[in-house]
Chains A and B, each alone.
Chain A
Amino acid sequence: GAVVSQHPSWVICKSGTSVKIECRSLDFQATTMFWYRQFPKQSLMLMATSNEGSKATYEQGVEKDKFLINHASLTLSTLTVTSAHPEDSSFYICSARERQGGARSYEQYFGPGTRLTVT
């Protein structure tokens, strides 16, 4: 159980275009979803936290207008990188949290990641 999928697994786009990444919880309802960015051989950097039906909370330094996050349902969150540039090339990982409260309530289940290359 607790499987999270991401689509696409990799994408190449041209500079100036937008790209959308989907994150789905397949067998549970995700009250909260998280989006991370990771550069090679570095740690995961949290970009934003999204709760179903409400606006995402962005971490300091993350551009809200560039990285649009939508959490339309309890099983789907999307990250849209708008007007992508080469510096946006990175590995993007989503995760989902199943429930609030109780032991391990802060545990997250991770998607397989999306490798974005902007040319």
Chain B
Amino acid sequence: AQKITQTQPGMFVQEKEAVTLDCTYDTSDQSYGLFWYKQPSSGEMIFLIYQGSYDEQNATEGRYSLNFQKARKSANLVISASQLGDSAMYFCAIGGTSYGKLTFGQGTILTVHP
């Protein structure tokens, strides 16, 4: 079984500041992957970043980085230098080799203030 927990329904951040969105997970798979998606008001799911369970280094993609702590089963997303366009809903998801599906968290609505 797989489970993702996002405990922050909403987050606020000032423009140009950094923000961390929390994600904890549970899985019975040894090999799995963690994904973060951004969903703006238009509804499209935009892939942000991926972390494999065996990756030794934390993933980074531009202003996005993933703080992966395997022992704590957490995969927090860090957005540096927030922009107004970052205001959206963010989903953490997990996929594993045995389960075949992605399991999503409840999502966090991020609002960036000017």
Contact among A41, A49, A93, A112 for B101, CB-based, below 8 A:
A49
How many residues of chain B have a CB within 8 Å of chain A?
24
- Nearest A residue to B46 via CB reads A110
Are A43 and B106 also in contact (CB < 8 A) when A107-B50, A112-B43, A115-B43 are?
A: yes
The verdict on B104 contacting chain A, using a C-beta distance below 8 Å, is: yes
**Closest CB in chain B relative to A3 CB, distance in Å:** 12
Are A93 and B100 also in contact (CB < 8 A) when A41-B89, A41-B109 are?
A: no
- Nearest A residue to B102 via CB reads A108
Q: How would you classify the secondary structure of chain B's contact residues: helix, strand, loop or mixed?
A: strand
A108 to B46, CA, bound (A): 11
Is there contact, CB below 8 Å, between B43 and A93? yes
The verdict on B45 contacting chain A, using a C-beta distance below 8 Å, is: yes
Is there contact, CB below 8 Å, between B97 and A105? yes
Is there contact, CB below 8 Å, between B104 and A43? yes
**Closest CB in chain B relative to A27 CB, distance in Å:** 15
Is there contact, CB below 8 Å, between A93 and B45? yes
- Nearest A residue to B6 via CB reads A43
The verdict on B36 contacting chain A, using a C-beta distance below 8 Å, is: no
Is there contact, CB below 8 Å, between A107 and B101? no
Interfacial residues of chain A within 39-95, with CB under 8 A of chain B in the complex: 41-44, 46, 49, 91, 93, 95
Name A residues whose Cβ lies closer than 8 Å to a Cβ of B.
32, 34, 38, 41-44, 46, 49, 91, 93, 95, 103-110, 112-113, 115
Name B residues whose Cβ lies closer than 8 Å to a Cβ of A.
33, 35, 37, 42-45, 47, 50, 52, 89, 91, 95-97, 99-102, 104-107, 109
Q: Ordered nearest first, which 10 A-B pairs have the shortest CB separation?
A: A106-B95, A110-B45, A113-B43, A112-B44, A43-B104, A44-B104, A43-B106, A43-B107, A108-B102, A91-B43
